[in-house]
Structure 1
Amino acid sequence: MATSNYTLKVNRDLLDPNFESYRLSLDPIPTYNVELDAAVEEVTLKDCQYTLEHVRAFAMYNYLHVDAWYDDSVLFVDCKGRVLSFTVTLDTALSKPREVFRLPAEAERREDRVCPSLSLTSPTWAALSDGAGRLYLLRTSKRGDAVHGKWEPLFTEDSGGPFVVLHSVAHVRGGAHTLEVLLLRVVKDPQETAGSGYSVTLEWITVANAAGQGLEKNYEVKTRRLLRGKSVPHYAAVTPQGDGLMVASEKPFAFTHVDGRPLEQPAAGEPPAEADEPDPVYSWQQTSDDITADVRLPEGAAEDAIRFRVTADTISVGVRGSASLLEGRLYASVDPEACTWNLREDNRLELNLQKRTEGPVWPELVTGDRRGRHVMSEEQAAVVRDRLTQLSSEDAHAQPDPDKPACDAQELEDCDGYPEETSSLVHFDGESLKTTQVVNLAAHQYLFSVSADPAQMPCLCLRHDVDALLWQPRPDRPADMWEHVATFNALGYVQASKRDKKFSTCAPNFSYASLCECLRRAFIYRQPSAGDGALFNRKRGRPAGRVARQQVAGLDSDKAVLGFGASDERLFALTSRNLFVLKVNNDNNNHG
């Protein structure tokens, strides 16, 4: 199955071009403090866990787990190994967290253990790690109320070294109840000699029961798949039906083993097989003042069906009834009035775009779009050859200008370096284990993940320019696999300015986003609503743009925030001794 480059399609209707700023609101946020009977122990890294990947995987772990299947319900594990459940029914009468499961005490004796981790698989199942290498699959019955009983472990396994559970799903396959669990480890890599000596592994385990054999409670591993990479993924999740995997990471992951057997690797000296690259959708060339693009149209496209729209910074080209052929933000501004198109006889569309600023060379036509091919003219190619000739020499110490010292690599700034790999979002097919779609995230910083609909994959939030855009994976729609479902205005810019930020999240209904610092403070960012009054810019003599509200909530604790999560109405912040409940949406501070 060939890999295809995919471009995230922004829904322009979800953007707010009139948004101007956030206005600080002094409306109080009711905050309730639940004191814990036993501390939540922050598992610190050991001397052997010294790499940046250990910090990303374990030191920045969110200890608080929002139960997306039930409203205002959260869970965490305390220092006694108790899995505690907490549900809000009335803010002014909060009950103590209830124990639903207890881990064995021997897990605490392992020196290299990490924090316990939990994934809420379904309304009645959960996956739990003790932090020391043991995995539990638990039947929980219905959660979210005060009457359900203790959790029942129906599958346990000691899988060696410590890990965290990243994600899990449940589904029915072949009439058998099946659970998919995704585990993350940072392991010593004997083949890694130049770097830190560690690599990152993702283990995708499929566990199913044997109900057809009269063994309803007998669960066993059906398949193990192992992926290896060099960086902790920002995002990793299994598709709802267990037929695929999505990973967003700075460095690529690849499957290496299935059921303990290594996958076939290229023989020594033999180049790896290259994936079939699709033909470019368009080609383009440029001069100092204009762009000419040649777009391949679907067979039989009529002239009256062509859709062409260009603004100073964006372009959209397509055929009515078909997917967009060229769409997104242009690398630089153009003059829309001077841009034209022409339908050629060979079923191709010729575009002429006038650059607003003459001179600069564009490295790409549409930012992040890899479906096109840049074609150099003979004159441009000759200039490049001349420059390369001047820069190359058989003398390793050639110095064309003896009066000027040679460049010292230590004098280069960080911005002069070029990364070996770029961040990407990848979809793997569960059967072939090959990548089917790849999104280049080089221009889109990953911000956070959130479960908006527990029956779907978690959403991931990416920075686009100054905004934060939320993307819902749609694995059942290969042509449109990531859907833009919400926008948080200017949140990408705001988040970059918070030097002490530790956690970020948003409400499942997208009514607000929130950032939490390491100590004491949480920031809430609401989007403009019909009830927000319009402001007037006196300096410019005209109405100001749409303004949203920012609120700041203080936490009455000097302990570090270990966990953070949001429901539609409340924020939850966990420290070692307290669980804070912040009533974010109510009649006093929710005007929408």
Structure 2
Amino acid sequence: MAYRVLDLQPDPALLNPRFDGYKLRLVDSGSDGAVRTHQLQSASAQPQLLASNELFTYDEVCSRIHYNHLFVGPRHGTFVYFTKNRCAFLVDTSGACSPQFTLLFELPTRTSTSASQGYPGAYSLSDTHILIFDGTESLYVLQHIECDGEHWQATGVFEIGTGSVAAGPPGRGQRPNMNYVLGATLGHVKGAGLVIRMHICYRIDKEAAATQTRTGHSMPTFCIQALQVDMPTASPGTREVLGAGTLCPEIPALSTSTAHTLHTHAIPVYCAYVGWDQYILGVRGGVVLDDTELVLQPTDSSESTASAVLAAAAANTDVHHYHWTQSASDVTVCMELPQPLKSSQIQCELTRNTVSLHLAGGDPSLAKYACERVELYDRIVADDSVWTLENGRLLTLYLQKEHEGARWASVFSADDGVLEAMDPSELVAIRERLEKYTAADQEAGRSTAPLMQQYVDQDSGGDLEQLEEQPDASVMFSARDWRTGQAEATSVPGSPGWLCAAFSRAPAQLQGLQPGVPPVCLKFDVDGVVFSFDMSPSSSSGGSSSQQQQHVRVDARHAGTFSALSYVQASKREKRLISIDPDMAVAVLAEAQRRIYIYHQVPRADAASAAQNVVDLGGSGDDAEILGMQAAGRVLVVLRARSLCTIDLDSC
């Protein structure tokens, strides 16, 4: 399938320049009002704290602070949460009376030390299957037993532990790895029966080959694995019920296989499955490296080895001899040279509106990089623009824009067809590749900085305001093939920044809905723009006719706008959770304690204002903290340590 650009540019017709702000509308929180509080029929849902000596990156700390501890259940109005003593409970809020609580599963005592303890999670695969993650490395498949009542049985278990990894700077020793489950789906494979396809993520701390940003700070690397899990063929059927949440003496071990791996510099914020053979991934900075670039191993430090690796990498890119990206203030042009050069062999002249480049070397292919007073797309500040040469092979031009904020359609005034398709972190990957395979071009004894340099103090108590002040890279979305992980469509740098995803629907609700991919809400100026991922039939993937799988074309479409949402959420100092209704009726923001903000859609496209509700859930102590929230139609469900609150959105 041909590579395409996933267009995430807003439609001006769906923006409302007349919008002036939200108007507060009071909520009746009385006994018969819109807000009701129900005590949990279990132990408290307070998450376990980490040991004070655990070391995490800024990205990992953010993922824990903004972790949603309430999970969508298998049917409409059902949800799953975990108690402090590691029991999974299913709560049904669909009835007219009080919620019904059912013990699903009691997580076994952890015995392995190969993974650091994280937060447990529940992922509803269908109306009869739930995947339970213990927060470390074990996942259990629960299946509904066909009998009267709510009974579930553990029918399989598998491990995703990846052992210990280096714990940051040299001398810190080893630490158990921490795993993150990004998402999972259930389907049929011909000849194999039911299988689970899922994505997990864990951090890699590389010390030998550190990657550096332009500012000189090291960046962590996260490995994303696509796993396939074979389900047991036998079904619990109508077997004798041992009791709700019963842990069988022996749970069958399930076999797993890895389809592919990807590398990023951040934990993905979005992972959704498109049918059975494709998925959409959203990650800050984008994917930087994949398996195809790790197959070749250096046998020596010779120039021929470096050339072979660079040629293999070029096979996965376009045919142009440079890549480029831009920010509001500058343009970065990156060239991988076919042979190592010295800086004295390069002549580069930058003027206000032209660039001249001459390279002296024996390789005839260097001629294609040469240019003489070629006019740029727009003017630059020549005195602030520079060029650099790294490892003798990476030539980079940093062009400072004269008109800051103006977007360039191409590098040069005469468009040569080279799209702005370079992920900003792709430059990091190129540098890493050159450092790994061109050791002969580096000075002897040169030391490299460790990959991990900065850690967020675990004793900060979750200072959300401090975390929000950190720079936030733009999220890159890509539609990818399940088997290979290769991108079929990718957004480009400069797309709107990340805000939130929509609430997920229960699997039973998705039956008959094509597709069931949650929309996303992105930042555009002061607004929150909602993009849906639309599907259309496309050509089949390769292979024999019996193996061909139907692919779909994934396109992004600006489906709606929450006016001023980006502005109002930025003003909240302690926001913990934010999401939008899949039908784009409301956007909901939860602070760390007590308060819920509900922003309604404008009554008409050109309205100057919309309604806003502020709900104070009350509570004291640990029960004031908001741990999770989900929506079931027009009912918002909020989890706290000892209570569950339901908010009728129609009454707000």
Q: What range is the shorter-chain TM-score in?
A: 0.5 to 0.7
Contact 1:187 1:199 in 2 (8 A): yes
Distance 1:27 1:48, change over 3 A: closer
Deviation string for 1:462-489 (max 9, x for gaps)? 1122221222223556665223333222
The question of whether the paired residues in 1 share the 8 Å contact of 2:225 and 2:258 is answered with: no
Asked whether the equivalents of residues 593 and 626 of structure 2 are also in contact (C-alpha less than 8 Å), the reply is yes
C-alpha distance in 2, partners of 1:276/1:187?
A: 25
The alignment partner of 1:481 has SS state of: strand
CA distance in 1, matches of 2:55, 2:37: 34
Which residue, 133, 153, 156 being the options, matches 1:154?
156
1:14-163 mapped onto 2 (5 Å cutoff): 14-29=14-29, 30-36=34-40, 37-46=42-51, 47-67=53-73, 70-90=75-95, 93-106=97-110, 112-140=116-144, 147-157=149-159, 159-160=161-162, 161-163=177-179
Partners of 2:267 and 2:117 lie apart in 1 by 18
Counterpart amino acid of 2:5?
Answer: N
Letter in 2 for 1:186: R
Q: Does 1:511 align with 2:528?
A: no
Q: TM (normalized to structure 2)?
A: 0.60
In structure 2, the CA distance between the partners of 1:555 and 1:265, relative to structure 1 (3 Å rule), is: farther
| 1:490–1:151 distance in 2 versus 1, CA, 3 Å | farther
* TM-aligned CA distance change 1:548 to 1:191, over 3 Å: same
Instruction: Report the counterpart of residue 407 of structure 2 in structure 1.
Output: 364
Decide whether aligned partners of structure 1 residues 77 and 374 sit closer, same or farther in structure 2, where only a CA change above 3 A counts: same
Taking the aligned partners of 2:503 and 2:591, their CA distance within structure 1 comes to 21
Task: Work out which of the residue numbers 450, 471, 474 in structure 1 matches 2:534.
Answer: 474
SS at match of 2:566: helix
Question: CA separation of 1:486/1:52 partners in 2, compared to 1, >3 Å: closer, same or farther?
Answer: same
Q: Is the Cα–Cα contact under 8 Å of residues 192 and 198 in structure 1 kept in the other structure? A: no
Q: Which runs of 5+ in 2 are unaligned?
A: 163-176, 235-251, 299-304, 321-376, 379-401, 416-470, 511-515, 538-551
Deviation larger for 171-180 or 451-460: 451-460
Cα distance, 1:475–1:227 mapped onto 2, change above 3 Å: farther
Letter in 2 for 1:547: S
> What letter corresponds to residue 201 of structure 1 in structure 2?
C
Tell me whether 73-82 or 556-565 shows the greater mean CA deviation. Answer: 556-565
Answering whether residue 452 of structure 2 is matched by residue 435 of structure 1, we say no
Distance 2:114 2:640 in 1: 24
Task: Give 1:470's aligned amino acid.
Answer: V
Residues 9-58 of structure 1 show CA distances to partners (whole Å, capped at 9, x for unaligned) of 54556444443321111232522222233122323344232321221333
Choose the corresponding residue for 2:522, options 462, 487, 493: 462
- Alignment-mate amino acid for residue 637 of structure 2: F
Letter in 1 for 2:500: F
1:201 to 208, 223, 227: 223
The code of the aligned residue for 1:487 comes to T
Q: Which residue of structure 1 lines up, in the alignment, with residue 603 of structure 2?
A: 529
CA distance in 2, matches of 1:464, 1:59: 25
> 1:489 and 1:134 mapped to 2: Cα distance?
43
Amino acid at match of 1:263: V
Residue from 557, 569, 577 that aligns with 1:483: 557
Contact 2:8/2:496, CA 8 A, preserved across alignment: no
Decide which of 390, 393, 413 is 1:375's aligned counterpart. Answer: 413
How far apart, in 1, do the equivalents of 2:50 and 2:629 lie?
Answer: 20
Say if 2:497 and 2:522, in contact at 8 Å, map to a contact too. yes
Q: Secondary structure at the match of 1:114?
A: coil
Query: How far apart are 1:102 and its partner, in Å?
Result: 1.3
**Structure 1 equivalent of residue 422 of structure 2:** none
Do 1:107 and 1:131's aligned partners in 2 also have CA atoms closer than 8 Å?
Answer: no
- 1:405: which partner in 2? none
Aligned 8 A contact 2:501 2:518 in 1: yes
| CA-CA distance at 1:162 after TM superposition | 3.7
Question: Which residue is equivalent to 1:246?
Answer: 281
**Counterpart Cα distance in 2 of 1:457 and 1:265:** 38
Write the distance in 1 (CA, Å) between the matches of 2:275 and 2:95.
33
1:5 is aligned to 5
Equivalent AA in structure 1 for residue 55 of structure 2: Q
Give the deviation of 1:7 after TM superposition. Answer: 1.9
**Counterparts in 2 of 1:268 and 1:490: CA distance versus 1, 3 Å:** same
1:65 Cα deviation after fit: 0.9
Maintained 8 Å contact 1:2/1:275: no
Q: Is the 8 A contact 1:429 1:436 kept in 2?
A: yes
Give the aligned partner of residue 640 of structure 2: 575
Give the residue type in structure 2 aligned to 1:102.
Answer: E
The alignment's TM-score, normalised by the length of structure 1, stands at 0.66
Relative contact order, higher structure (CA 8 A, sep 6+) = 2
In the TM superposition, residue 197 of structure 1 has moved relative to its aligned partner by 7.9
Relative to structure 1, the CA distance from residue 361 to residue 110 in structure 2 (aligned partners, 3 Å threshold; closer, same or farther) is closer
CA-CA distance at 1:512 after TM superposition: 0.9
Identity %: 20
Cα deviation 1:128-151 (Å, max 9, x = unaligned): 2101211222224699xx932124
